[in-house]
């Protein structure tokens, strides 16, 4: 186990996040002879897509599918590359001078980086429905993590709800593992099928086409799929019942577990706090960093690879990591030999081909992004959609002002689970665009640290003399 005191004070390249983008980037850079450290806050590498890849208790490969096991090669390559890989390492700060604040087992260090690749990936889009804070309601990704990393499957009456590729993949994996799913409540808008048709030719050329079709067939053969327009979770102290409207008709089902999913969005927190410029992506309805062709951001020396650069999936993430790493190596050590970036770009293009279709087909309906009045938008501070609309109506123009009025986005999750909802609610109330409303201004520490961790930072003689008399 690497401890904080084992770290050097500076590295050529610091990679933050050990999913496909981070692993591929670290492996390429370290093999080129660049001193590289990779930090990941989870107990093992793999990110979310390859979660538990080096430790999963699932021995039957068919349960998670071959696409999952492809992650083992990435993890092995990174391990063999000579990069220092540190798990259980939480990066809580990154500034424009590329000073990285990291905590390992309760001890903090500040590390200088000549280059940084942020590979912190995505998180599931907020899914604010009535009752989504009840125990028993979780994200589909959470159930997938429980399965991959811990060999756990949901028990009792289990419902899945939402839209997007991950929902179908999770359903297939759960069924293969022997779990029972009562029904899938499908929120895909029928009108989206027509809108997605122009993107169909590209999608047919992408690797997702045949895989997606096979998944849909596998799941639909075993689980009823119910199209729905409205959804709420009910229960005293925990989930007991799910209410929904299907083709205009009210229905309800008893339920113990409800798994929600409506796509993933870039996890912008660390990049935002580092001062990286972001813009609104209307097709993916989320903020994404402004990047150049090498995934370099507006802050010199900081690149963002993987789904954090805009959603494109796990295999695209690895190619993006390689492109960012090639740029870093060329800047740090021009004499080193690196793969031809053009060939990597071509692979990436093929991986990204299917996105237009998926983004359009699975664009979440307004009803599931702009919740009704009494629905909680900010889970941490328990702020409702009505409170946000009321404040917008009396003149609150943006999310940062909204913090001062309502404390939304100021709880421990730092806006991760409410940021997009708050931006979109304000935009809708004020008849403007999310791009004009903007996002929370985030500041370090982007993950909570204790005073003891801060106090464990090494102090130089000069720093001590500056405060001691």
In the bound state with another protein, the residue whose beta carbon lies nearer, of 153 and 426, is 153
User: Least distance from C-beta 53 to another protein, angstroms?
Assistant: 13
Strands 278-281 and 286-289: antiparallel
Judge contact between 146 and 153, C-beta under 8 A: yes
- Please state the φ and ψ torsions of residue 328, each to the nearest 5 degrees: -65, -45
User: Least distance from C-beta 59 to another protein, angstroms?
Assistant: 6
Instruction: Return the H-helix or E-strand segment holding 361.
Output: helix 355-361
In the bound state with another protein, the residue whose beta carbon lies nearer, of 237 and 395, is 237
- Please state the φ and ψ torsions of residue 455, each to the nearest 5 degrees: -70, -20
Distance of alpha carbon 201 from the chain centroid: 28
In the bound state with another protein, the residue whose beta carbon lies nearer, of 150 and 253, is 150
User: Least distance from C-beta 151 to another protein, angstroms?
Assistant: 4
Q: Tokens 């689970």 — which residue?
A: 417
In the bound state with another protein, the residue whose beta carbon lies nearer, of 139 and 360, is 139
User: Least distance from C-beta 47 to another protein, angstroms?
Assistant: 9
Cα–Cα dist 266/247, whole Å: 32
- Please state the φ and ψ torsions of residue 14, each to the nearest 5 degrees: -110, 120
In the bound state with another protein, the residue whose beta carbon lies nearer, of 34 and 273, is 273
Residue of 294, 307, 296, 292 lying closest to 345 (CA atoms): 294
User: Least distance from C-beta 220 to another protein, angstroms?
Assistant: 24
Please state the length of the chain. Answer: 469
Instruction: Note the helical H segments in 268-418.
Output: 269-273, 314-332, 341-352, 355-361, 385-393, 399-406
Cα distances from 188 to residues 60, 63, 208, 262, 334, in angstroms, run 32, 26, 18, 9, 49
Judge contact between 281 and 265, C-beta under 8 A: no
User: Least distance from C-beta 137 to another protein, angstroms?
Assistant: 7
In the bound state with another protein, the residue whose beta carbon lies nearer, of 294 and 381, is 381
Q: Can you name the residues that pair with 257 across neighbouring β-strands? A: 158
In the bound state with another protein, the residue whose beta carbon lies nearer, of 268 and 329, is 268
Q: What is the DSSP string of 425-459?
A: HHHHHTT--HHHH------S-SS---HHHHHTS--
* Tokens matching residue 278: 């972001």
* Tokens matching residue 333: 């050590």
User: Least distance from C-beta 379 to another protein, angstroms?
Assistant: 7
User: Least distance from C-beta 67 to another protein, angstroms?
Assistant: 19
User: Least distance from C-beta 146 to another protein, angstroms?
Assistant: 6
In the bound state with another protein, the residue whose beta carbon lies nearer, of 55 and 346, is 55
Instruction: Return the H-helix or E-strand segment holding 226.
Output: strand 225-227
In the bound state with another protein, the residue whose beta carbon lies nearer, of 111 and 174, is 174
Residues within the interface to another protein (CB under 8 A): 41-43, 48, 51, 55, 57-60, 88, 90, 123-124, 133-139, 141-142, 145-146, 149-156, 177-178, 237-238, 256-257, 267, 379-382, 411-413, 416-417, 448, 450
């Amino acid at each position: 186990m690497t401890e904080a005191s084992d770290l050097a004070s500076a590295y050529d390249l610091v990679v933050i996040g050990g999913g496909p983008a981070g692993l591929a980037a670290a492996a390429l850079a370290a093999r080129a002879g660049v001193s590289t450290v990779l930090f990941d806050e989870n107990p093992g590498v793999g990110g979310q897509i390859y979660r538990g890849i080096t430790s999963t208790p699932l021995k039957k490969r068919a349960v998670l599918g071959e696409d999952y096991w492809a992650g083992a090669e990435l993890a092995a390559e990174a391990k063999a590359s000579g990069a220092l890989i540190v798990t259980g390492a939480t990066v809580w700060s990154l500034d424009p001078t590329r000073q990285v604040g990291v905590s390992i087992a309760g001890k903090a260090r500040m590390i200088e980086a000549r280059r940084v690749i942020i590979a912190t990936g995505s998180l599931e889009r907020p899914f604010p429905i009535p009752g989504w804070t009840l125990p028993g309601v979780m994200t589909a990704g959470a159930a997938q993590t429980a399965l991959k990393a811990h060999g756990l499957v949901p028990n009792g009456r289990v419902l899945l709800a939402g839209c997007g590729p991950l929902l179908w993949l999770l359903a297939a994996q759960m069924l293969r593992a022997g779990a029972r799913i009562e029904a899938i409540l499908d929120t895909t808008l029928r009108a989206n099928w027509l809108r997605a048709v122009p993107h169909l030719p590209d999608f047919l050329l992408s690797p997702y086409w045949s895989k997606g079709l096979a998944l849909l067939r596998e799941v639909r053969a075993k689980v009823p799929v119910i199209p729905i327009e409205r959804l709420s979770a009910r229960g005293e102290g925990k989930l007991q019942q799910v209410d929904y409207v299907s083709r205009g008709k009210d229905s309800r089902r008893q339920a113990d577990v409800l798994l929600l999913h409506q796509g993933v969005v870039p996890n912008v927190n660390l990049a935002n706090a580092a001062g990286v410029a972001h813009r609104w992506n209307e097709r993916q309805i989320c903020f994404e960093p402004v990047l150049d062709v090498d995934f370099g951001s507006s802050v010199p020396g900081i690149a963002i690879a993987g789904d954090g650069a805009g959603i494109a999936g796990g295999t695209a993430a690895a190619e993006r990591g390689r492109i960012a790493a090639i740029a870093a190596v060329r800047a740090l050590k021009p004499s080193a030999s690196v793969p031809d970036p053009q060939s990597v770009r071509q692979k990436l293009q093929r991986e990204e081909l299917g996105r237009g279709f998926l983004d359009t087909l699975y664009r979440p309906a307004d009803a599931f992004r702009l919740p009704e009045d009494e629905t909680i938008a900010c889970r941490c501070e328990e702020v409702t959609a009505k409170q946000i609309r009321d404040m917008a109506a009396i003149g609150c123009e943006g999310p940062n002002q909204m913090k001062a009025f309502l404390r939304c986005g100021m709880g421990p999750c730092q806006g991760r689970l409410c940021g997009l909802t708050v931006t979109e609610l304000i935009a809708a109330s004020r008849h403007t665009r999310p791009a004009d409303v903007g996002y929370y201004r985030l500041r370090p520490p982007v993950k909570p640290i204790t005073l003891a961790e801060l106090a464990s930072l090494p102090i130089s003689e000069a720093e001590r003399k500056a405060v001691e008399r």
